[in-house]
A and B are shown apart, each in its own frame.
Chain A
């Protein structure tokens, strides 16, 4: 009798453990993103221009270099910051100056940002400057987009492809 009760008790413990595992394996549900909103993700990695233009070395300068390093041009390694703006329906969501990565500041500038927006039609303007000039933008894209709830739209940037890419 005692043994039977013991087995019943073990059954209860096993059942409780199984319920615990079964439940917490998928619940409670986590709301990762506000319901009924859409998302715009702006992300790229882009190397801006060098802080100084390459120039020809004078013959004197070339002569000073060790023979195996002689070359006609010299280029600055460091790049300028990339300036980015993102406007949605006239509101500025982002206006930022991105530093190049790398210890010598010679790498690409990187960005990865997410914005939650209302679903519906939006006017999006993305601007980017990667030249040495201090004002104005080298790239600008305006696009009217339609986002449904839960949609994720990415804005990428590829200079080779002509600028911003909406996808």
Chain B
């Protein structure tokens, strides 16, 4: 059922991401930086907010004039700050909603990821409340509308003895205590949201909270231009002796206000309740099929910390050795945080297919898809693999679907994440001549479903991160293409070109395993 909603959404995101990739380099792609952009907008809002607060008069009767002063007399400074404050807030809504829908579309909210989702929901609400209280503070006609509709809506709940909307009945009913409450809330709620955001990131390691500089400059420049060309204005002072009449709503923050205003209270309140319950329970609708989490096999773990460094979800910690082996530490997996991506297996030096068949047990492994299983699958797929320019392609379950590939000379192995592949497998396939060339593919560049699979793979192959791909592996027989789900064409083109390149290569000499190589491997294997 959920798949019916997720699949088309995912399709749209994939297409949009590819479209943006035409003009943005992968690390600048806005769709791959939504969370970071959220933080960026948050900081702009904070800085501009502090600035305008210095000019803001917190009395209900003086507030409007103090803001008019900023906008008219100080348009070049406080006025720009006011506009930045408004437009960055609107930008925050846009990126937050996209982030929210995207995590849903990519199915990254169930299983142990529930935590990131559930901490996101109150942030979503608080961002809206912060924006609504912000519009209140201007005390113009829009503020009057917001005040009246908000209080009328709250009055549907039988909790106030006297309807609070009566505070806005007529000019002489207006009191400043309500206004002071709004000023307070407008500052307190974003601060609480920041604390929640900190919790939001507890289960992802090395979260991307700063957008890359190029993207940050572009976003900041467009906000500035917008602020100068189309400055934020007030809509005439509030006057409770008049109806607000026609008003320019901020459709990012207030799209539901016409509904709250016109629909019966029981309908809007139960609607809000249903949506809230739905948002809070969606990670379990239905619950994710349980996958087995990574397991450490102590006798094979040498405490090298690579798995802990590479785990994208902070699920591995290094503890004091418990089994008496002469190593400093051992890896420990927290099952409540592990998403079973297998990236740790790809990081483990003992996960090498060169080990003897009987003792291929990695220091850390996925019980329902072990390294030994992977080696077996590779061997099965390549046995027999005849013909010329034979290509073995490793891909992942979240990238382009590998069924229906047209080329006869290509065989495929699909994994949880390409980061699950220890680089020694590439060496294994080529040196054992199981295939003539190896292709690695997966999610789009910088858009890895398990966050770091593509990044660590690139770094391991470039020999910048352990475990490094051995020098002896002939690079001309290896291709890496981060195609993403929408990258079928890109992948096909690469495969055709690679086939041509392979046929142009001179025939390879039979594999030689130097005795010293073997010894080293055995040492590694023995931990």
Q: Which residue in chain A gives the minimum CB-CB distance to B231?
A: A22
In residues 202-218 of chain B, which contact A (Cβ within 8 Å)?
218
| Chain A positions 30 through 49: 1 when the CB is less than 8 Å from some CB of chain B, otherwise 0 | 11110100110101110000
| A43 CB contacts on chain B under 8 angstroms | 163, 165-166, 169
A151 adjacent to chain B (CB < 8 Å): yes
Binds A, one of B118-126, B222-230, B439-447: B222-230
A63 adjacent to chain B (CB < 8 Å): no
CB pair B252–A24 under 8 Å, yes or no, is: yes
| Chain A positions 12 through 26: 1 when the CB is less than 8 Å from some CB of chain B, otherwise 0 | 111101101110111
| Chain B positions 164 through 176: 1 when the CB is less than 8 Å from some CB of chain A, otherwise 0 | 0110011011000
CB pair A10–B252 under 8 Å, yes or no, is: no
- Listed A/B pairs (14) with beta-carbon separation below 8 Å: A10-B218, A22-B87, A22-B226, A22-B229, A29-B249, A32-B246, A35-B246, A41-B169, A45-B161, A108-B162, A110-B162, A151-B241, A151-B242, A154-B173
Known: A33-B243, A33-B245. 16 other contacts (CB 8 A): A6-B25, A9-B22, A9-B23, A12-B23, A14-B218, A20-B94, A25-B251, A29-B247, A30-B249, A32-B246, A33-B246, A45-B166, A108-B161, A112-B152, A112-B165, A152-B240
CB pair B246–A112 under 8 Å, yes or no, is: no
What residues make up the interface of A, taking CB atoms closer than 8 Å to B? 5-6, 8-10, 12-15, 17-18, 20-22, 24-27, 29-33, 35, 38-39, 41, 43-45, 101, 107-108, 110, 112, 150-154, 156, 167
CB pair A150–B249 under 8 Å, yes or no, is: no
**Which residue of the partner chain, among B94, B221, B248, contacts A26 with CB atoms under 8 Å?**
B248
CB pair B230–A150 under 8 Å, yes or no, is: no
B107 adjacent to chain A (CB < 8 Å): no
**Which residue of the partner chain, among A24, A32, A35, contacts B244 with CB atoms under 8 Å?**
A32
CB pair A30–B246 under 8 Å, yes or no, is: yes
B73 adjacent to chain A (CB < 8 Å): no
B113 adjacent to chain A (CB < 8 Å): no
CB pair A150–B242 under 8 Å, yes or no, is: yes
CB pair A152–B241 under 8 Å, yes or no, is: yes
CB pair A152–B170 under 8 Å, yes or no, is: yes
Q: Which residue in chain B gives the minimum CB-CB distance to A45?
A: B162
CA distance A60 to B355 in the complex (A): 99
Chain A's nearest CB lies how many Å from the CB of B426? 31
B458 adjacent to chain A (CB < 8 Å): no
**Which residue of the partner chain, among A21, A38, A167, contacts B87 with CB atoms under 8 Å?**
A21
In residues 82-103 of chain B, which contact A (Cβ within 8 Å)?
86-87, 90-91, 94
CB pair A30–B258 under 8 Å, yes or no, is: yes
Q: Which residue in chain A gives the minimum CB-CB distance to B173?
A: A154
Chain A's nearest CB lies how many Å from the CB of B401? 29
CA distance A26 to B234 in the complex (A): 10
CB pair A27–B248 under 8 Å, yes or no, is: yes
**Which residue of the partner chain, among B166, B222, B226, contacts A112 with CB atoms under 8 Å?**
B166
| B240 CB contacts on chain A under 8 angstroms | 152
| A27 CB contacts on chain B under 8 angstroms | 248, 251
Chain A's nearest CB lies how many Å from the CB of B152? 7
Chain B's nearest CB lies how many Å from the CB of A113? 11
**Which residue of the partner chain, among B219, B229, B251, contacts A14 with CB atoms under 8 Å?**
B219
B20 adjacent to chain A (CB < 8 Å): yes
B145 adjacent to chain A (CB < 8 Å): yes
Q: Which 10 A-B pairs have the closest CB atoms?
A: A9-B23, A26-B248, A14-B222, A154-B170, A45-B162, A18-B226, A154-B169, A24-B251, A33-B243, A18-B222
CB pair B242–A152 under 8 Å, yes or no, is: yes
| B245 CB contacts on chain A under 8 angstroms | 31-33, 35, 150
CA distance A33 to B246 in the complex (A): 7
Q: Contacts A22-B230, A32-B145, A107-B161 given: A15-B222 contact, CB under 8 Å?
A: yes
| B165 CB contacts on chain A under 8 angstroms | 43, 112
B27 adjacent to chain A (CB < 8 Å): no
Chain B's nearest CB lies how many Å from the CB of A160? 14
Q: Which residue in chain B gives the minimum CB-CB distance to A17?
A: B222
B261 adjacent to chain A (CB < 8 Å): yes
Chain B's nearest CB lies how many Å from the CB of A132? 23
Chain A's nearest CB lies how many Å from the CB of B105? 20
CA distance A74 to B233 in the complex (A): 60
Chain B's nearest CB lies how many Å from the CB of A37? 8
Chain A's nearest CB lies how many Å from the CB of B386? 41
CA distance A21 to B222 in the complex (A): 11
B324 adjacent to chain A (CB < 8 Å): no
Q: Contacts A32-B261, A43-B169, A152-B243 given: A25-B90 contact, CB under 8 Å?
A: yes
Chain A's nearest CB lies how many Å from the CB of B27? 13
CB pair A29–B248 under 8 Å, yes or no, is: yes
Chain B's nearest CB lies how many Å from the CB of A109? 11
**Which residue of the partner chain, among A10, A39, A108, A112, contacts B24 with CB atoms under 8 Å?**
A10
CB pair B87–A25 under 8 Å, yes or no, is: yes
**Which residue of the partner chain, among A14, A35, A110, A153, contacts B221 with CB atoms under 8 Å?**
A14
CA distance A14 to B230 in the complex (A): 15
B65 adjacent to chain A (CB < 8 Å): no
**Which residue of the partner chain, among B152, B163, B232, contacts A25 with CB atoms under 8 Å?**
B232
CB pair A101–B20 under 8 Å, yes or no, is: no
| A9 CB contacts on chain B under 8 angstroms | 22-23
| B218 CB contacts on chain A under 8 angstroms | 10, 14
Chain B's nearest CB lies how many Å from the CB of A14? 4
Q: Which residue in chain A gives the minimum CB-CB distance to B165?
A: A112
CB pair B249–A26 under 8 Å, yes or no, is: yes
| A30 CB contacts on chain B under 8 angstroms | 246-249, 258
Chain B's nearest CB lies how many Å from the CB of A125? 20
